[in-house]
Amino acid sequence: MKKRSIVTTLALTASTLSGVLATHVDAAPASCAANYICIYEHSGFGGAQYSVTGAAPSVGSMNDKASSLGNSKASNRARYFQHDSYVGWYVCVSAGNSASSLFSDRNDEISSMAIQIAMYC
């Protein structure tokens, strides 16, 4: 009985983490200007970039292309969503942080992004 409870808890924790966190979390890249949230075509903040200061219900030509993420906000976390208009799963990046790469099931999928009031994910 006890063992089953522990396994269930671990499984839930693992699935929660894979749904929210990116593989690598670092300081926001210099190319993501202060107060912007940014997405990049390639991992390591390379290739095309799309940036906004507020929310983007769609990301134009960067749709389903993002491979790394930056958040240069001082006090807002950012969420990057699977579909347009903030629908589907999301990856969360804390204020002043970034994701230099994404899990393979999150890569080339992001379609919208928005800031949230809290600083941390």
Contact 26, 69 (CB under 8 A): no
Phi-psi region of 64 (alpha: psi -120 to 50; beta: other; left: phi over 0): left
The distance of closest approach from Cβ of residue 13 to Ca ion in the complex, given in angstroms and rounded to an integer, is: 26
Q: Which residue's CB is nearer to Ca ion, number 74 or number 87?
A: 87
For residues 113 and 90, give the distance between their C-alpha atoms in angstroms, rounded to a whole number.
Answer: 9
Tell me the per-residue interface mask from 80 to 109 with Ca ion, x by CB under 5 A, - otherwise: -----------------------------x
The residue whose Cβ lies closest to Ca ion is 111
Q: Which residue has the tokens 């983490």?
A: 17
Q: Which residues contact 11 (CB under 8 A, 6 or more apart)?
A: none
Work out whether strand 87-93 and strand 37-42 pair parallel, antiparallel, or are unpaired. unpaired
Q: Which of 7, 13, 64, 103 binds Ca ion (CB under 5 A)?
A: 64
- Check residue 67 for interaction with Ca ion (CB under 5 A): no
The distance of closest approach from Cβ of residue 22 to Ca ion in the complex, given in angstroms and rounded to an integer, is: 16
- Chain residues binding Ca ion by CB under 5 A are 64, 109, 111
